[in-house]
Amino acid sequence: MTTPQPIRGMQSLLGEDADRMAAVVAAFDRVRRLYGFKRVEVPVLEDTAVFARTMGETTDVVSKEMYSFEDRSGDPVTLRPEFTAGIARAYLSEGWQQYAPLKVATHGPAFRYERPQKGRFRQFHQLDAEIIGAGEPQADVEILTLADQLLKELGIGGVILKLNTLGDAETREAWRAALFEHFRGHSKTLSEDSRTRLDRNPLRILDSKAHQDWPVVDSAPAIDEFLTVEASDFFAKVTAGLDATGVKWERAPRLVRGLDYYRHTAFEFVTDQLGSQGAVIAGGRYDGLIEALGGPHTPAVGWAAGIERLSMLIGAPEREAPSVVVVPLGERAELAAQGIVAGLRREGVATDIAYRGNMKKRMSRANASGAAFALIIGDDEIDRGEAQLKDLATGEQRSVSLDLLADAIAR
């Protein structure tokens, strides 16, 4: 019988790799509490329409990458490819509107059927932060400051905030029309993918990865030519707010979000340490998304971050290790040790037990665990009501009373 193998693009983690991801989540939890973002949970599985309506039927994610299937009732369901759509659905169906403006944060697995590559898997994990029901530029500043502080908390340097405005509806429509005319005039030189996108969504051509498109993209009209007074004022307040908070940013006039419900602020935190896949946090303002789900007009802004990518950029977390390893010798000591271990753990002392092999192997395991102490107990020690506490760093060993173990270890 052959050994089962993991499905391509899925991974199992042990030790430092798992600890790195846990460290990213722990930092996120600390920072989101500082900013007053409530922890929420949303289902891994949603009605397929939730993603088709919010992400766009023609996007690659919906048309090619989603894990979609019919459940036993014949209903079309999808494993979430991202969090925002599910949070927006919950905002409507769970009655969360009463809490607006609502600041929420979550993390967990998401699924996309795409080519696995560095830092990207078919089951991957995301951090997600959203402010729903706030249309003020101050909300954009807060969501961006949250992201910036998270990166600092993780000790990740060399990341640049790339920032752009997509304007309001009037701005976007005028820019879109100008882009369509520009790209149509150069359609013969565009890549096949970009020619396909021309009629559906010319904004997406600005984000083309095809080298042959880049000269045409570089000469495309910039959004600043079409900004309304209101849109320009909104962006100015965002950038002034970032300056006031000390968040460094760079203008990226070609940075876009293709879907029509995106408005105003679009951004990416980018690093050059992960090759071509450089964005570690990305997001924007999506004032029309909840309307796409059938809800009322509801302004919102948010971002997502890949936990795997962030975990690749942080230093190795401090190794988890017990404070003490109990080393019992003899049957009576084996039984007594179980009670000692349980008692120490109840006192809040991280404790392990070395119960296999001879004395040399048990002590070797205690040393390899990274513990500060080994607690050695045999029949003679039990009779005296004590144990031998050995400092594994210095080799110093002394007798301690079984009644005072926790105190002795703490000292």
Per-residue pLDDT of the chain (411 residues), as tens digits, is 888 988 888 899 988 899 999 999 999 999 999 999 999 999 999 999 998 887 765 456 666 788 899 999 999 999 999 999 999 999 999 999 999 999 999 999 999 988 777 667 899 999 999 999 999 999 999 999 999 999 999 999 889 999 999 999 899 889 889 988 998 888 888 888 888 888 778 888 887 888 888 888 888 898 999 999 999 999 999 999 999 999 999 999 888 886 778 889 999 999 887 765 588 999 999 998 999 899 999 999 999 999 999 999 998 888 888 999 999 998 899 999 999 999 999 999 999 999 888 889 999 999 999 999 999 999 888 889 888 999 999 999 999 888 888 888 877
> Alpha-carbon distance 97 to 25, whole Å?
27
DSSP per-residue codes, 171-200: HHHHHHHHHHHHHHHTGGGS-HHHHHHHHH
* Residue 319, in any domain of the structure: no
* Residue range(s) defining the domain that contains residue 390: 324-410
* Residue 400, in any domain of the structure: yes
> Alpha-carbon distance 289 to 295, whole Å?
9
On whether both 305 and 252 belong to a single domain, the answer is yes
| CA neighbor of 354 nearest in space, from 320, 391, 327, 381 | 327
> Alpha-carbon distance 149 to 155, whole Å?
10
On whether both 263 and 405 belong to a single domain, the answer is no
Number of H helices, E strands in the chain: 15, 16
- CATH assignment at residue 330: 3.40.50.800
On whether both 245 and 351 belong to a single domain, the answer is no
Which of 262, 281, 313 marks a domain boundary?
313
* Residue 173, in any domain of the structure: no
* Residue 186, in any domain of the structure: no
CA distances from 82 to 111, 127, 130, 142 (A): 8, 10, 13, 21
Give me the residue label for tokens 């401090």: 318
**Taking the CB of residue 245, how many other CB atoms lie within 10 A of it?**
13
On whether both 353 and 308 belong to a single domain, the answer is no
Helix, strand and coil percent figures for the chain, each rounded to 5: 45, 20, 35
* Bridge-based pairing state of the strands 250-251 and 160-165: parallel
The tens digit of pLDDT for each residue in 186-245 reads 888 888 888 888 877 888 888 788 888 888 888 889 899 999 999 999 999 999 999 999
Q: Which residues contact 260 (CB under 8 A, 6 or more apart)?
A: 172, 288
CA distances from 49 to 68, 79, 85, 290 (A): 10, 12, 10, 13
On whether both 289 and 384 belong to a single domain, the answer is no
Predicted confidence at residue 63, as pLDDT, reads 61
On whether both 344 and 275 belong to a single domain, the answer is no
Q: For all residues of the chain together, what is the average pLDDT?
A: 90
**Taking the CB of residue 201, how many other CB atoms lie within 10 A of it?**
19
Question: Quick one: CA dihedral 200, 91, 24, 18, positive or negative?
Answer: negative
Q: Which residues contact 331 (CB under 8 A, 6 or more apart)?
A: none
Structural tokens at position 400: 């301690």
On whether both 241 and 372 belong to a single domain, the answer is no
159 burial level (CB within 10 Å; 0-12, 13-18, 19+): buried
On whether both 308 and 331 belong to a single domain, the answer is no
> Alpha-carbon distance 113 to 61, whole Å?
8
Global pTM exceeds 0.85: yes
* Residue 39, in any domain of the structure: yes
On whether both 296 and 385 belong to a single domain, the answer is no
Which of 291, 313, 335 marks a domain boundary?
313
* Residue 249, in any domain of the structure: yes
On whether both 152 and 247 belong to a single domain, the answer is yes
User: What is the tally of structural domains in the chain?
Assistant: 2
**Are 238 and 230 within 8 A, CB to CB?**
no
Question: How far is residue 226 CA from its own chain's centroid?
Answer: 34
On whether both 112 and 257 belong to a single domain, the answer is yes
* Residue 148, in any domain of the structure: yes
> Alpha-carbon distance 265 to 287, whole Å?
10
Which of 274, 289, 313 marks a domain boundary?
313
On whether both 298 and 335 belong to a single domain, the answer is no
The tens digit of pLDDT for each residue in 311-337 reads 999 988 888 889 999 999 988 999 999
Give me the residue label for tokens 């990416």: 268
